[in-house]
Amino acid sequence: SGKEKWPRGDETVWKTNMRGVDADIGDITKSVVNHVQTSLARQAYNLDNLGAYQAAALSVRDNMLVNWNETQLHYTRKAPKRAYYLSLEFLMGRTLDNALLNLDLKSQYKDGINQLGFSLEDLLEEERDAALGNGGLGRLAACYLDSSASQDLPVWGYGLRYKYGIFQQLISPEGNQLEAPDPWLDNQNPWELPRIDVNYEVRFYGQSERLSEGHGRALWTGGQEVLAVAYDVMIPGCHTRNTNNLRLWESKPKRGFDLNSFNAGNYEGAVESSNSAAAITSVLYPNDHTTFGKELRLKQQYFWTAASLADIIRRFKNLGKSINEFPDYVAIQLNDTHPTLAIPELMRILIDEEDLDWNFAWQIVTNVFFFTNHTVLPEALEKWPVPLMEHILPRHMQIIYDINMIFLQAVEKKFPGDRERLARMSLIEEGFPKQVRMANLACIGSRRINGVAELHSQLVQTTILKDFVEFFGVSKFGNVTNGITPRRWLDQCNPELSKLISSTLKIDKSVWLKDLYKLKGLVKYAEEKGFRAEWAAIKQRNKERLAHHIETTLGFTVNTNAMFDVQIKRLHEYKRQTLNILGVIHRYLELKAMTPAQRKKVNPKVVFFAGKAAPAYYIAKLTIRLIVNVARVINADPETKDYLSLYFLPDYSVSLAEVLIPASDISQHISTAGTEASGTSNMKFCLNGGLLVGTVDGANIEIAEEVGEENVFFFGHLTPAVEDLRYQHMYHPVPVDEACPALANVLNQISGGLFGDGGVYEPLVNTIRQGDYYLVTDDFDSYIRALAMVDEAYLDRDEWVKKSICTTANMGKFSSDRAIMDYAQEYWNLEPIPVGKD
Ligand code: GPW
């Protein structure tokens, strides 16, 4: 019949692989030894921790690969609708511990590694973070991959395989941030699979010639062609065989080098174009919330969206369906506007390559894409200069103009004569040069648009996309409040708490980790003294674990009897690390003014900061410098150091967060109201029983709704007041000395040189004295009062522990499983496809 039988040979023989769940210790040691000898070409006699880590990772990878292959085969056979998460950032952190827990192999590997004379804990520390992201947006993408796989959803991620991740942060003796490269691939990466057979050509520059009148086909030729090569990263689900894929693209020259130049003796010219091709995926842009309009960044965006779409279309075509069914089989989620070029790129493919007419193509496009907005800050809204776009992507610029013309005709029809509205909604912003507004393009090219917390989604609909709500109707707009994966952010980072929860609820963790509302069952134990003691003891041990980490890495001895107060996030004026450090100085000045007897009544506190500043963000870097120098002064003050100390922990990362978060008593989420779209570390702290002091902003609001307002410390002006206050500052400025004497005193101490040369900090201090766009002055007094309430609450330790328990117990909503299921049902129309269940 010509049909071959697969698999060849005896099927039962093919099926005897080492599948994770029934692997015994003997299999594990054998497999690790095998990798030491045959993958690493090393021996037991000269094996260090790094080698042992690599062998263990390769052994775990073998287990994942079996599941990964099975999952891909299963998805191919069942041919369900799939979703693709396009994100320029995936902040994955380390993989080994997470993989062991998701595969339920940790205790077996612990024993196996022990038998080989190593400790698993040591090996875990050998792994470098995969830090292919800046902050919340990138970490959210990583949590969403974990939740998709854990819920058996056919979701793939698409991103870039940067050779260098987010820079390493060093702090100079003066307190300045220095940046060093992050060559994370230097020790080899056992978690990626190069797929040299999966590659696509991507064109840049050249000419586009229209082949017909109107919005018909065009021919795009010439320019530079670059090769995109796939690297696959396996994403194991928690306690399921489903193992999804994260496909990262690497850029390569299409040909090794230009032989003509080489033969003519022009060696530099010969490698020039190959260098420029490799440059595309060489480094992650370290800017958070800002756009710079750099050519290389635009090339990254197009390179990645073009390769991903080509791959998605190839997979769809294998189904043998007609192209008009594309939206029934494919949903593409745009993580912010970074992948918006996918919209004109799909139009180009459908029109120029598939020969569809415009309206038919647009119909398909606007049913495939979904767009998530992550900020309403104007400086973060991407715009690309038209001349740059025309130069690099001439065909896409034509398509954008075509989309714009047809769209504006429709707007004019609905709102006749409203020229200002047309100007606001246009994809092109007038000016010198003109600019393409990516948020507008993403909005009109997508089926639905969402924000990332209730307040934020409301702000999106009433501010930046207000005109679009009026045009399309409100049903096109929605909210999906962010979430975090409880696997990494509770089970992995806080194993003792996880164990206590399982034994108290008498529910296996594989159940409550996937149904986080089960934590509600903890509420009643808040009244049990014994349980509270265990809960508090775990927090204490986590504080000691952090202190030990700091002692061994930085050499500081941290007072673990004090309250731990933590603010860890990217440095940004809107996040107001300034408010925090000014509050610390205020507290220090108060302590200095006390008698020793008065001081003895003060709640001792250790304040931790960590976070990176964008290398070109001057004020953010100056804030780090201030923090470091305040720490230098107050940690050395014998009168106060037992009551207040301060640490700036360099090189914040996912791995450092995993140590810091479980150790916190209180964490700070103090953005100017209306500026933090959601925040996600707020959820991580609360899930680990840390309380929250914060403004009425982003997901803080929903956390308070869930855990009860009596369990959070809110302060500051509300969102509707912010605009009025800014107006006041502009037109009726009041000097700080009048508006807030306590703050004025703190600023004067800085200027007066209490923390070294005061002149250095003038540019930072002046952002508050003049203009004060982020309203530090307006919120300072209520911030100090909120911190006083925190102190008071902490002194009643029993009540505090109750609050801590009730907080954790009510965090069910913030599992990223809930968020991803929401996307799957309300946006993508996706069903779980469990492997091995039929
Ligand atoms: F500006 N976020 C981020 F919206 O981490 F693009 N980087 C960014 O560049 C942007 C947003 C962008 C964050 C938000 O600030 C944070 O509030 C939110 O929780 C997170 O994205 C995930 O949605």
Q: What string of DSSP letters covers 75-123?
A: HHHH---EEEEE-S-EEEE--HHHHHHHTT-HHHHHHHHHHTT--HHHH
Total number of domains constituting the chain:
3
Sheet with 712-715, strands from edge to edge, namely: 644-648, 605-610, 563-568, 666-669, 691-695, 712-715
For the Cβ of 562 lying below 6 angstroms from any atom of ligand 1, the answer is no
Give the 3-state secondary structure of residue 202: strand
Examine the domain organization and report whether 472 and 579 are in the same domain.
no
Annotated catalytic residue: which of 161, 239, 476, 684? 684
Sign of torsion, CA 210 212 218 223? negative
| pLDDT at position 272 over 80 | no
Q: How many angstroms separate the alpha carbon of residue 316 from the centre of ligand 1?
A: 31
For the Cβ of 375 lying below 6 angstroms from any atom of ligand 1, the answer is yes
Examine the domain organization and report whether 171 and 52 are in the same domain.
no
User: How far is Cα 350 from Cα 236, in angstroms, rounded to an integer?
Assistant: 34
For the Cβ of 89 lying below 6 angstroms from any atom of ligand 1, the answer is no
Tell me the pairing of strands 243-253 and 224-236.
antiparallel
SS3 string, 548-610, reads HHHHHHHCCCCCCCCEEEEEECCCCHHHCHHHHHHHHHHHHHHHHHCCHHHHCCCCCEEEEEE
Decide: 810 and 707 in contact? Cβ < 8 Å: yes
Give the 3-state secondary structure of residue 699: helix
Examine the domain organization and report whether 606 and 707 are in the same domain.
yes
| pLDDT at position 9 over 80 | no
| pLDDT at position 8 over 70 | no
Structural domain contains residue 521: no
Annotation marks residue 299 as catalytic? no
pLDDT at 268: 73
User: How far is Cα 102 from Cα 151, in angstroms, rounded to an integer?
Assistant: 12
Query: CATH number for the domain including 540?
Result: 3.40.50.2000
User: How far is Cα 499 from Cα 703, in angstroms, rounded to an integer?
Assistant: 24
pLDDT at 293: 85
Structural domain contains residue 836: no
Examine the domain organization and report whether 328 and 265 are in the same domain.
yes
pLDDT at 553: 97
Average the pLDDT over 139-160 and give the result: 98
User: How far is Cα 506 from Cα 67, in angstroms, rounded to an integer?
Assistant: 29
- Condensed to tens digits (0 to 9), the pLDDT of residues 35-91 reads 999 999 998 888 999 999 999 999 999 999 999 999 999 999 999 999 999 999 999
Peptide bond into 7 cis (omega under 30): yes
Q: Which residue's CA is minimally distant from atom 16 of ligand 1?
A: 679
List 648's β-bridge partners, or say none.
Answer: 609
Give Cα 831 distance to the centre of its chain: 25
Annotation marks residue 161 as catalytic? no
Examine the domain organization and report whether 240 and 106 are in the same domain.
no
pLDDT at 64: 96
For the Cβ of 478 lying below 6 angstroms from any atom of ligand 1, the answer is no
Q: 284, 374, 383, 612: which to mutate for ligand 1, most atoms within 8 A of CB? A: 374
Structural domain contains residue 516: no
User: How far is Cα 82 from Cα 301, in angstroms, rounded to an integer?
Assistant: 22
Give Cα 120 distance to the centre of its chain: 27
For the Cβ of 679 lying below 6 angstroms from any atom of ligand 1, the answer is yes
| Cβ neighbours of residue 100 closer than 8 Å, sequence gap 6 or more | 60, 106, 109
Residue 39: domain span: 1-78+102-122
| pLDDT at position 18 over 60 | no
For the Cβ of 677 lying below 6 angstroms from any atom of ligand 1, the answer is yes
pLDDT at 13: 59
Q: Which residue's CA is minimally distant from atom 11 of ligand 1?
A: 374
Q: How many angstroms separate the alpha carbon of residue 160 from the centre of ligand 1?
A: 18
Structural domain contains residue 500: no
For the Cβ of 380 lying below 6 angstroms from any atom of ligand 1, the answer is yes
Structural domain contains residue 804: yes
With cut-offs at 50, 70 and 90, classify the pLDDT of residue 690.
very high
In the structure, how many helices (H) and strands (E) does the chain have?
36, 24
Annotation marks residue 684 as catalytic? yes
Structural domain contains residue 4: yes
Examine the domain organization and report whether 68 and 83 are in the same domain.
no
Examine the domain organization and report whether 399 and 543 are in the same domain.
no
Structural domain contains residue 389: yes
Average the pLDDT over 135-154 and give the result: 98
Q: How many angstroms separate the alpha carbon of residue 88 from the centre of ligand 1?
A: 12
Q: Which atom of ligand 1 is nearest to the CA of 677?
A: 17
Examine the domain organization and report whether 372 and 403 are in the same domain.
yes
State the virtual CA torsion across 467, 468, 471, 472 in degrees, nearest 10. -160
List 728's β-bridge partners, or say none.
Answer: none
Distance spanning both ends of the chain, measured CA to CA: 28
Annotation marks residue 732 as catalytic? no
For the Cβ of 337 lying below 6 angstroms from any atom of ligand 1, the answer is no
Annotation marks residue 767 as catalytic? no
For the Cβ of 289 lying below 6 angstroms from any atom of ligand 1, the answer is yes
Task: Give the total residue count for the chain.
Answer: 838
Examine the domain organization and report whether 475 and 540 are in the same domain.
no
Instruction: Give phi and psi for 196, each to the nearest 5.
Output: -65, -20
For the Cβ of 334 lying below 6 angstroms from any atom of ligand 1, the answer is no
* CA-based max dimension of the chain: 96
Decide: 79 and 833 in contact? Cβ < 8 Å: no
Decide: 785 and 748 in contact? Cβ < 8 Å: no
Half-sphere exposure at residue 565, Cβ-oriented, CA atoms within 13 angstroms: 25
Question: Beta-carbon neighbour count of residue 283 at 10 Å?
Answer: 18
Peptide bond into 433 cis (omega under 30): yes
Structural domain contains residue 275: yes
List 818's β-bridge partners, or say none.
Answer: none
User: How far is Cα 150 from Cα 492, in angstroms, rounded to an integer?
Assistant: 15
Examine the domain organization and report whether 58 and 141 are in the same domain.
no
- Element containing residue 715 per DSSP (H, E): strand 712-715
Q: Which atom of ligand 1 is nearest to the CA of 676?
A: 17
Examine the domain organization and report whether 179 and 321 are in the same domain.
yes
Annotated catalytic residue: which of 375, 485, 680, 808? 680
Share of the chain above pLDDT 90, in %: 92
- Condensed to tens digits (0 to 9), the pLDDT of residues 408-449 reads 999 999 999 999 999 999 999 999 999 999 999 999 999 999
List 667's β-bridge partners, or say none.
Answer: 566, 692
User: How far is Cα 707 from Cα 670, in angstroms, rounded to an integer?
Assistant: 18
Examine the domain organization and report whether 557 and 544 are in the same domain.
yes
| Cβ neighbours of residue 723 closer than 8 Å, sequence gap 6 or more | none
Average the pLDDT over 821-835 and give the result: 98
For the Cβ of 243 lying below 6 angstroms from any atom of ligand 1, the answer is no
Give the 3-state secondary structure of residue 834: coil
Annotated catalytic residue: which of 82, 289, 374, 769? 374
pLDDT at 747: 98
Q: 88, 287, 289: which to mutate for ligand 1, most atoms within 8 A of CB? A: 289
Annotation marks residue 587 as catalytic? no
| pLDDT at position 20 over 70 | no
